[in-house]
């Protein structure tokens, strides 16, 4: 569904240039759950930001459903981000003083839904992520796990083709991690196409259809979870796994 061909991305500062992505070639197919791991600074977030259309790339081409994106103008990218991609961040990006219901409803209103239908759908999505009965709670008053489940609900409500997660459990209180991973597992089982940057290797092994290891802006290794964890090929992958497993 999404194909990256020779994608490169540079960050320029006054004094330096960082190549965050180096000629990345990747394909994400419908129904896949790709788990991405790697050291801090290896380009994982940059990759997700490029896939989501939030960040422009400098070289190469990205295809969506077989169509090249080189002809996308600003409005097309806006449309792509809004309609095709659900993005879940480490730090939720919720509106704290809004209720759980309003957080989802406001997104649906922007999408053009009428008031009543937006409210109805918001309730359905709250239910889906296990927040039924909490419609009137302010987002700021939720536990870290509930906040993340709410941000997943809001992303799902936009009915995206693919869900992207950037370290969705790294900011959570440890006892809340399980409830968010369980929800992600449910989505994967429902057939949702997902790409997640995560260091939860047990989860990646159990739920992922593919695991990808990034190192210095390249995809150094990718394989089925079984192969990836049982016989990693590259020294850098082995070294990384020996630290996180
Ligand atoms: P990861 O998510 O794997 O930790 P990132 O994609 O955030 O890695 O970063 C990849 C590289 O790009 C790092 O060297 C980082 O310092 C650099 N980088 C990321 N974002 C910016 C930015 N906005 N400006 C300058 N450099 C950046
Ligand atoms: Mg990151």
Which of 7, 10, 11, 213 best tests ligand 1's pocket when mutated (most atoms within 8 Å of CB)?
11
Please give the full DSSP string across 117-161, using - where no structure is assigned. HHHHHHHHHHHHTT-TT-TTSBGGGS-HHHHHHHHHHHHHHT--S
Ligand 2 center–CA 90 separation, angstroms: 9
For residues 120 and 128, the answer to whether their CB atoms sit within 8 Å is no
Q: What angle do CA 118, 119, 120 make, to 5 degrees?
A: 90
The mean pLDDT value for 142-152 works out to 98
- Please check the confidence at residue 29 and state whether its pLDDT lies above 90: yes
For residue 76, what are the CA distances in angstroms to 1, 8, 53, 219? 17, 21, 10, 28
pTM of the full predicted structure?
0.97
- Please check the confidence at residue 64 and state whether its pLDDT lies above 90: yes
Residue minimizing CA distance to atom 25 of ligand 1: 11
Beta bridge partners of 196: 35, 165
> What does the pLDDT read at residue 245?
86
For residues 171 and 151, the answer to whether their CB atoms sit within 8 Å is no
Measured CA to CA, the distance from residue 105 to residue 153 in angstroms comes to 11
pLDDT tens for 196-208 read 999 999 999 999 9
């Amino acid at each position: 569904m999404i194909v990256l061909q020779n994608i490169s991305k540079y960050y320029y500062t006054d004094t330096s240039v960082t190549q965050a992505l180096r000629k990345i070639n990747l394909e994400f197919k419908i129904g896949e759950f790709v788990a991405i791991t790697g050291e801090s600074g290896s380009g994982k977030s940059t990759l997700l930001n490029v896939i989501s259309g939030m960040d422009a790339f400098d070289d190469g081409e990205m295809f969506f459903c077989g169509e090249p994106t080189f002809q996308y103008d600003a409005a097309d990218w806006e449309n792509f981000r809004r309609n095709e991609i659900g993005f879940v961040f480490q730090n939720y990006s919720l509106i704290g003083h809004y209720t759980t219901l309003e957080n989802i409803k406001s997104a649906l209103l922007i999408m053009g839904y009428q008031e009543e239908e937006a409210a109805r759908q918001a309730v359905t999505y709250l239910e889906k992520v296990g927040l039924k009965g909490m419609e009137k709670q302010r987002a700021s008053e939720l536990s870290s796990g509930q906040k993340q489940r709410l941000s997943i609900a809001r992303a799902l409500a936009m009915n995206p083709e693919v869900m992207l997660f950037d370290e969705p459990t790294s900011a959570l209180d440890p006892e809340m991690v399980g409830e968010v991973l369980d929800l992600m597992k449910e989505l994967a089982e429902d057939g949702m196409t997902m790409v997640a940057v995560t260091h939860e290797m047990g989860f990646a092994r159990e739920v992922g259809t593919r695991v990808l290891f990034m190192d210095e802006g390249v995809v150094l290794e990718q394989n089925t979870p079984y192969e990836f964890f049982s016989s990693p090929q590259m020294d850098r992958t082995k070294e990384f796994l020996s630290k996180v497993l």
